[in-house]
Structure 1
């Protein structure tokens, strides 16, 4: 079991190189293939709108420039993969906005690696991946990498946010190939007494047993907090020196607007470690 195809978002941000390096390390663990996905940022619908308002020739020039920018990003990706001596990789260029392109590519991979939005970054809005949109609509789990910090795989100290939900179950199952390499896995259950029907008499015990059958040793930690769970989760991650957080992504979408749950929103905004999410 492993991630045989990992899709990584490639754009012009300064964080792309670190994101690609981490994705390459994950691919090497499972002897898989790394796919660098770069989007021009201009969808067919947007192109048609530009052609109407700007004129066909000017619109064609804009999309040619956007495509060349994406190609340049992919050339840097390929150079980095060669420098990393990665045996299997490929580039894909799509005429689409970043979020939609990544959602599409998620269907053909096992994991999507993308970056947390840097509010001070110079990247064009059309190049931004919008992690919450991708996490909510992706066919596969997503690994969101913070825009600050340095991270390495295999991850050694994994923190799992367990609340008995379908989303958390999917995230835990997706993270098994990463947890198999970890030296320590902690299953954190917050305020289990508030939802006894979901957790049972021994919160976390059933999931710990499930993971044990995969050869993963798990410590269950029951936590009680009066602050929001997202903040408590990030604080606990810092206290335990975790280098990967695994959690479900909660919310719903209405057209293009994403209404995230409070925990998911807090983590995506304030994350201090890579987060593997599934919806």
Structure 2
């Protein structure tokens, strides 16, 4: 009898072909960090033969800060100045993207606070993936509400880069932080193309103390089996620890030299609590490796 079963490599390749990113959006703001995001986006796009769209955001001054006739004049002048600055950045970005060929484009959004975040979330919805930077430093922290809007209203996967993080391509090792929630399920589903292409995948859950017939590992059995049916061999690990969940996840990421951490984005606004605490916010603030989040 001929053995017609697929090898694990063949199954992985088949899974990767069946799940791929075709449209990747990148947040651009005219800062030096644009080059970091573009480098990561190019590497991902090359692996999936995907189309890249740069979303250049030019934030206009908040009209609420101005009042009276003088305020109207002042905000008009500021809007003109910000628009002109945006023209310079847009020209530079178009020249940068032009080197990538005709399958890539730049979209510019000039809008006031509140409206800009909604516009970017709308752009995220027709893409498979949205790449941005963790809003943790002075230069990028002003985009916190924009990242939050994409995370909770964009409906697609959010790929967040630590500031100035070096390109780690291809992604070989993926750490999945799993809880039995809709958000975790969404994160795994949205990240499946990246997970399928990895050579090492570990699914972990954090327990402050072991419980259950398998010490808590039973919560990982079904998701591990699901990944296996996609041709993905994953290791399941329960992190029983007295340390904060974020520290436990980052320690495990360091131990396995993870290139990417996949987690559900929990909360309703301002990056509020994960099931075990403020894990989403803590990882955004401190992870040294890229994060993949979905809500």
TM bucket, shorter chain: 0.7 to 0.9
Q: In 2 relative to 1, CA 120–95 (structure 1 residues): closer, same or farther, beyond 3 Å?
A: closer
Match of 2:251 among 229, 235, 239: 235
**TM-superposition CA deviations, 1:126-150 (whole Å, max 9, x none):** x566534432332211111000320
- Residue 131 of structure 2 aligns with which residue? 113
Say which is worse superposed, 15-24 or 240-249, in terms of deviation: 15-24
> Matched residues in 1 for 2:84 and 2:201: separation?
44
Contact 1:47 1:63 in 2 (8 A): no
**Which residue in the other structure is 2:12 paired with?**
none
List runs of 5+ in structure 1 lacking aligned partners.
none
Q: State whether residues 114 and 145 of structure 1, in contact with CA within 8 Å, keep that contact through their aligned partners in structure 2.
A: yes
Find the aligned partners of 1:7 and 1:128 in 2 and give their Cα distance: 17
Residue pair 2:239, 2:248 contacting (<8 A) in 1 also: no
Write the distance in 2 (CA, Å) between the matches of 1:252 and 1:110.
Answer: 22
The DSSP-based 3-state class of the residue aligned with 2:93 is: helix
**Is 2:183 the counterpart of 1:162?**
no
Residue 105 of structure 2: aligned partner: 90
In structure 2, how many angstroms separate the alpha carbons of the residues matched to 1:52 and 1:104? Answer: 33
TM-score, normalising length: structure 2 = 0.81
Aligned to 1:40: 58
Residue in 1 aligned with 2:48?
30
Q: How does 1:220-231 map to 2 (within 5 A)?
A: 220-231=236-247
For the residue of structure 1 that corresponds to 2:60, the secondary structure is coil
SS of structure 2 residue aligned to 1:147: coil
Normalised TM-score (structure 1):
0.85
Change (3 A) 1:214 1:24: same
Structure 2 unaligned regions, length at least 5 = 1-18
How many matched pairs? 270
Distance in 2, matches of 1:20 and 1:259, equals 28
Change (3 A) 1:217 1:73: farther
Query: 2:120 — aligned with what?
Result: 102
Q: 1:53 to 1:34 in 2, by over 3 A?
A: farther
Q: 1:196 to 1:71 in 2, by over 3 A?
A: farther
Distance 1:133 1:232, change over 3 A: farther
Distance 2:167 2:256 in 1: 16
Residues 189-226 of structure 1 show CA distances to partners (whole Å, capped at 9, x for unaligned) of: 221977859x9872312111111222222111221111
Contact 1:39 1:101 in 2 (8 A): no
Alignment correspondent of 2:272? 259
Report the counterpart of residue 85 of structure 2 in structure 1: 69
Structure number with greater Rg is: 2
Aligned to 1:183: 199
2-structure distance, mates of 1:20, 1:235: 28
Contact 1:159–1:186 (8 Å) recurs in 2: yes
Contact 1:117 1:130 (8 Å CA) reproduced: no
Task: Find the residue that maps to 1:40 and give its secondary structure.
Answer: strand
How many angstroms does 1:56 deviate by? Answer: 4.0
Please give the alpha-carbon distance, in whole angstroms, between the structure 1 residues aligned to 2:271 and 2:254: 28
C-alpha separation between the residues in 2 aligned to 1:133 and 1:232?
28
Q: Aligned Cα RMSD in Å?
A: 2.7
Secondary structure of the 1:237 match is helix
